[in-house]
Amino acid sequence: MADLEIAIGKFMKKLWDATKSKGENIGLAFLILGCLGILVQLILVLAGLRTEISLLSAALALISVGLGFTAVGMSAKSDKRHTDLLEKVDKNITTLPLLFKGDILTPSGQLVAKDISSEQSKIAAQKRLDEDTKRVGFVRGETHQLEDGRWSIHWGGKYPL
Q: What pLDDT is attached to residue 32?
A: 94
The residues facing 151 across adjacent strands are 145
3-state secondary structure of 151: strand
Mean pLDDT over 65-82 rounds to: 90
Q: What's the rounded Cα separation, in Å, for the pair 49 and 43?
A: 9
Mean pLDDT over 12-35 rounds to: 88
96 has a pLDDT exceeding 60: no
90 has a pLDDT exceeding 90: no
Q: CB under 8 Å to 39, separation ≥6 — which residues? A: none
43 has a pLDDT exceeding 80: yes
Q: What pLDDT is attached to residue 48?
A: 82
Q: CB under 8 Å to 160, separation ≥6 — which residues? A: 138, 140
Q: What pLDDT is attached to residue 97?
A: 57
Rounded to the nearest integer, the mean pLDDT of the chain is 82
**For 153, which DSSP code?**
E
Mean pLDDT over 138-152 rounds to: 81
44 has a pLDDT exceeding 60: yes
